């Protein structure tokens, strides 16, 4: 009651904010004016709630296993616009999967949805704690927390409201499938019953990416005029990282540096930086469209197209994962590993802490601080035997998380 009373106050504030802020007004409108008539009332559903794109992608294997093993349909809700768009794109052709915007934990909208669908279970991805969603779903079906994790920062915040959370965590959630023993201890300390908390590992290890044939990879190498050069792919780079990478690679001969910025709006500035350094470069769109294909030797390829990073990882001799040399927290280490490439990454690993720790323990990746260390690690990797066997063992030790969870639902 206190929670929903506070929400009324927030609604009043939002009303006035939205009068003057078109972006926020559109955000609220999309979530509060949805038509749920397309949901089939006669069907049973597992409702999977994701926050954003990352969680939507994370649940690929879970959705696949539920559709394979269960008779229920799936309702996916997402908090962000990009998460919604990603989910719609993934599942628009599958009539057993429905996608909605998460209605911001509004009591009446959630109750409306639960009156339409026959809920078998609610699945919360990565510690999404929404009181109305949990309380109302608990009355209709079972509630599961999947791929649960509690960061150091979040744990300190949750401890301050432990009394409020205890009722939800102790009584309303059927089981917690968590990533690590540390997460298990933290959930239990906040009120979760020990026998309900199960360490299953990280759903990210169930990653299923596109495999590229030998001919496809050779065609890409030919397209970018790689010739006999070794290929260094820097994926999802952020401001401040490209310069460090270029500085390291300038010391090496016979390398083509492929820069794949996380955000394409950085490309004009990146081009300017490279020009000022006096380095010859090309853009991927030019080579792909054959608008700048003269046989001019160049050292840097700027990838100015979305959705091709994984293909570039598949042809890399050495890979770097961005968002780690600057304080972003790191992007996916598993993508280059999926293609059996040894990743190099920086010190900022908040988003991939557990995976990075295991990668370093198994010595299938390297952490660096600066351009000098990147240079030294590249020389080291060149002298090493392939790590493919060790990376294969790494995936085998952590896979089938979705299988374990779905068999228990």
Measured in degrees and rounded to the nearest 5, phi and psi for residue 311 equal -65, -35
Look at residue 131 and tell me whether its pLDDT is greater than 70: yes
| β 230-237/318-321 pair status | parallel
How is 344-361 classified by DSSP, letter by letter? EE-S--GGGHHHHHHHHH
pLDDT of residue 201: 84
| Token pair of 21 as six digits | 């802020």
pLDDT of residue 353: 84
Predicted confidence band of residue 292 (pLDDT cuts 50, 70, 90): low
pLDDT of residue 88: 96
Look at residue 370 and tell me whether its pLDDT is greater than 80: yes
Quote the DSSP letter at residue 267: H
Domain with CATH 3.40.50.2000 in the chain: 214-396
Give the span between the Cα atoms of 68 and 76, in whole angstroms: 17
CA angle (243 as vertex; 239, 248 as ends), nearest 5: 140
Predicted confidence band of residue 2 (pLDDT cuts 50, 70, 90): confident
Q: Is the separation of the CB atoms in 258 and 301 below 8 Å? A: yes
Predicted confidence band of residue 380 (pLDDT cuts 50, 70, 90): very high
Q: Is the separation of the CB atoms in 301 and 256 below 8 Å? A: yes
Residue 197's closest CA among 245, 127, 263, 266? Answer: 127
pLDDT digits (tens, 9 = 90+) for 317-362: 999 999 999 999 999 999 999 999 999 999 999 888 878 988 999 9
Give the neighbor-by-neighbor strand order of the sheet with 197-199.
97-101, 73-78, 44-50, 118-125, 142-148, 175-178, 197-199
Look at residue 127 and tell me whether its pLDDT is greater than 90: no
pLDDT digits (tens, 9 = 90+) for 72-100: 999 999 999 999 999 999 999 999 999 99
Residues facing 176 on adjacent strands:
145, 197
Give the span between the Cα atoms of 127 and 151, in whole angstroms: 10
Give the span between the Cα atoms of 141 and 118, in whole angstroms: 9
Predicted confidence band of residue 68 (pLDDT cuts 50, 70, 90): very high
What fold, for 2-8+39-207+401-406? Rossmann fold (3.40.50)
What fold, for 214-396? Rossmann fold (3.40.50)
pLDDT of residue 366: 97
| Mean pLDDT computed over 248-264 | 92
Look at residue 183 and tell me whether its pLDDT is greater than 80: yes
| 246: CB partners within 8 A, 6+ apart | 257, 274, 277, 279, 300
pLDDT of residue 204: 83
> Element (H or E) spanning 59, and its range?
none
Q: In whole numbers, what is the pLDDT of the chain averaged over residues?
A: 91
Domain with CATH 3.40.50.11720 in the chain: 2-8+39-207+401-406
> Element (H or E) spanning 238, and its range?
none
| Mean pLDDT computed over 271-284 | 93
């Amino acid at each position: 009651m206190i929670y929903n009373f506070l929400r009324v106050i927030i609604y009043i504030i939002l009303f006035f904010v939205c009068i003057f802020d078109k972006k926020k007004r559109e955000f609220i409108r999309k979530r509060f004016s949805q038509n749920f008539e397309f949901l089939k009332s006669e069907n049973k559903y597992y409702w999977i709630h994701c926050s954003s794109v990352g969680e939507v992608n994370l649940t690929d294997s879970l959705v696949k296993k539920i559709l394979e093993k269960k008779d229920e349909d799936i309702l996916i809700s997402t908090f962000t616009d990009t998460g919604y768009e990603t989910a719609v794109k993934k599942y628009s052709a599958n009539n057993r999967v429905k996608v909605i915007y998460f209605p911001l934990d509004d009591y009446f909208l959630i109750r409306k949805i639960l009156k339409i669908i026959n809920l078998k279970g609610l699945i919360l991805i990565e510690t999404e704690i929404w009181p109305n969603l949990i309380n109302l779903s608990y009355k209709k079906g079972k509630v599961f927390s999947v791929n649960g994790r509690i960061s150091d920062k979040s744990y300190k915040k949750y401890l301050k409201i432990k009394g409020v959370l205890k009722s939800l965590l102790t009584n309303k959630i059927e089981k917690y499938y968590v990533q690590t023993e540390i997460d298990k201890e933290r959930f239990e300390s906040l009120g979760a019953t020990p026998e309900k908390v199960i360490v299953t590992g990280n759903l990210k290890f169930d990653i299923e990416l596109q495999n590229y044939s030998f001919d496809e990879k050779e065609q890409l190498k030919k397209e970018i005029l790689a010739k006999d050069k070794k290929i260094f792919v820097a994926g999802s780079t952020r401001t401040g990282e490209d310069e460090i990478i270029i500085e390291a690679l300038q010391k090496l001969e016979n390398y083509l540096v492929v820069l794949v910025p996380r955000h394409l709006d950085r490309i004009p500035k990146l081009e300017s930086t490279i020009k000022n350094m006096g380095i010859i470069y090309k853009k991927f769109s030019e080579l792909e469209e054959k608008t700048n294909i003269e046989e001019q030797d160049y050292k840097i390829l700027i990838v100015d197209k979305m959705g091709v990073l994984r293909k570039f990882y598949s042809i890399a001799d050495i890979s770097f994962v961005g968002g780690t040399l600057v304080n972003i927290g790191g992007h996916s280490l598993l993508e280059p590993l999926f293609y059996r490439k040894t990743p190099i990454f920086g010190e900022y690993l908040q988003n991939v802490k557990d995976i990075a720790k295991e990668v370093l323990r198994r010595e299938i990746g390297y952490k660096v601080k600066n351009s000098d260390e990147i240079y030294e690690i590249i020389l080291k990797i060149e002298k090493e035997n392939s790590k493919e066997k060790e990376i294969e063992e790494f995936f085998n030790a952590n896979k089938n998380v979705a299988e374990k969870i779905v068999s228990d639902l």
